[in-house]
Structure 1
């Protein structure tokens, strides 16, 4: 396991620690983050096609200023595609961030992604005293390797609940992700043998987004990482399946609240190749 400090404009942003091996639970990725007191102004949250579980510990609180004006402190769960102007800040916090495929989120969390509705919920409200117990356990171990092992065992135990996702919905989600959002909803419906209306209803109730919104989110995520990797906007727009560059600008503004040029400098995306190397 390695820990890397990422910088922006000469100031330390986060120390990032990826695990040495994948989680034993399919559809789960995790990484460790340590702040060095530089995020008091906050960093913009960039939406991602996963449900996010943040297990916070350390000497200072992790604070999320949600776009709706609500503030959240400590461990939390964020719904699929959460972001849209929200910011993360705090001083001297440490946290394990877990990205959950919406296919396993309900089994792990005990709540459907649809019930989250893209918002943030305090983990205390979902798990009660278990959330406090996990925080204490994370603080008692001294290495990231031990923290990852602790969280992985927790996720494996909680994920043993039977999946509530229809095989057709799971197939459609995998198809959307595999083709980076370059697929039409009516084609997905035809491929699983459902009507468009049935796919729309089942997908939204089980994944947490309507399929068209999920397609846009996955396509945006792919394009955003291509931009951060140095791709020009016109080339990225064509590769990602946008009708033209203006449609890419529209989606970047809708999901991230910035222009494609500004998106490439966001710390949230700058650490992705370290925290989530399999994604990169």
Structure 2
């Protein structure tokens, strides 16, 4: 689940070009897949808030550049893989073009790439650092050459399915971490001790394995899931006190402190920002939230 907050002028416009239907996706591996048209001709900055899924982002146009503020990623790097985001990250965007974005579950990530993600939280890796450069070139070329949005989504989906379907050997520790993470994705209220018991491993070993393969401990992953569930419920208009109770916060004040510490925004700031653009959220299975700053609301309304 990915939450974005636009916080700087000039306006940055998003338009949904195509969204794959959930029924067409292997949802235990790929939570969503879609295309966005992005326009930031005068430059634009958005803040990516913490999320508990992994993303593969392909730039389908040479005219579009999006990089972490102050970092060297982006530019000529055409396909990026994002690790878990445990803190807010600012992104600077310039130009106009189309993005293909797939959101992967922990199981999907490990199946697709079969590598550990220790010490990589909040990082974006060029795909060429994970797979041979010729594979990245072939994928990017096929996306650029695709004649339509649905065709681009089909190309991207087939590539992901082929990666996942290769069934590269992960080893029993990675398999256990993937299974445990999927359990937390469904039920973040599970305690680490309960989770360790379910998978017949000590708490300490499970924590070590989680950090090695996903970059966070089980408790940290559960917090990300809970944060995202709460943020989405707030965007849907659910009363804050009800969200706090449903998502396991002690009370509304506890939820507010947790949001501020985790994401740098309060629940009310999410609520008062005007709510998510429904069309934009649809491309990410109702998980993308836009929080416009002053002057951005009209751009987002038009983009939706």
**Structure 1's 279 and 120: CA in aligned 2 closer, same or farther, altered over 3 A?**
closer
Residue of structure 1 in register with 2:203 after alignment:
196
Residue of structure 2 in register with 1:97 after alignment:
101
Residue of structure 2 in register with 1:150 after alignment:
155
3-state SS of 1:243 partner: coil
Alignment of 1:178 with 2:186, yes or no, is yes
How many angstroms apart in 2 are the aligned matches of 1:143 and 1:104?
26
Question: Which of residues 126, 139, 145 in structure 1 aligns to 2:144?
Answer: 139
3-state SS of 2:169 partner: coil
Question: Which of residues 110, 123, 127 in structure 2 aligns to 1:123?
Answer: 127
What is the CA-CA distance between 1:240 and the residue it aligns to?
A: 0.6
Residue of structure 2 in register with 1:228 after alignment:
235
Range with greater deviation from structure 2 (92-101 or 70-79): 70-79
TM-score (norm 2): 0.78
What is the CA-CA distance between 1:223 and the residue it aligns to?
A: 0.3
TM-score (norm 1): 0.84
Gaps of 5+ in 1: 1-6
Alignment of 1:250 with 2:257, yes or no, is yes
3-state SS of 2:216 partner: coil
Contact kept in structure 2, 1:103 and 1:207, CA below 8 Å: no
3-state SS of 2:60 partner: strand
Residue of structure 2 in register with 1:4 after alignment:
none
Q: Map residues 1-280 of structure 1 onto 2, 5 A cutoff.
A: 13-16=13-16, 17-20=18-21, 21-24=23-26, 26-28=28-30, 29-37=32-40, 40-66=43-69, 69-73=70-74, 74-81=78-85, 83-114=87-118, 116-127=120-131, 128-159=133-164, 160=166, 161-164=168-171, 166=173, 167-179=175-187, 181-264=188-271, 265=273, 273-277=281-285
What is the CA-CA distance between 1:139 and the residue it aligns to?
A: 1.3
**Structure 1's 263 and 63: CA in aligned 2 closer, same or farther, altered over 3 A?**
same
CA shift digits 1:112-143 (9 cap, x unpaired): 23363331122233332332332222111121
How many angstroms apart in 2 are the aligned matches of 1:158 and 1:225?
30
Contact kept in structure 1, 2:61 and 2:144, CA below 8 Å: yes
**Structure 1's 174 and 111: CA in aligned 2 closer, same or farther, altered over 3 A?**
closer
Residue of structure 1 in register with 2:292 after alignment:
none
CA shift digits 1:222-259 (9 cap, x unpaired): 00001111123222111110112222122222332212
What is the CA-CA distance between 1:38 and the residue it aligns to?
A: 6.3
Range with greater deviation from structure 2 (211-220 or 182-191): 182-191
3-state SS of 1:276 partner: coil
Contact kept in structure 2, 1:165 and 1:206, CA below 8 Å: no
Contact kept in structure 2, 1:182 and 1:215, CA below 8 Å: yes
**Structure 1's 267 and 92: CA in aligned 2 closer, same or farther, altered over 3 A?**
farther
How many angstroms apart in 2 are the aligned matches of 1:141 and 1:217?
35
Contact kept in structure 2, 1:116 and 1:208, CA below 8 Å: yes
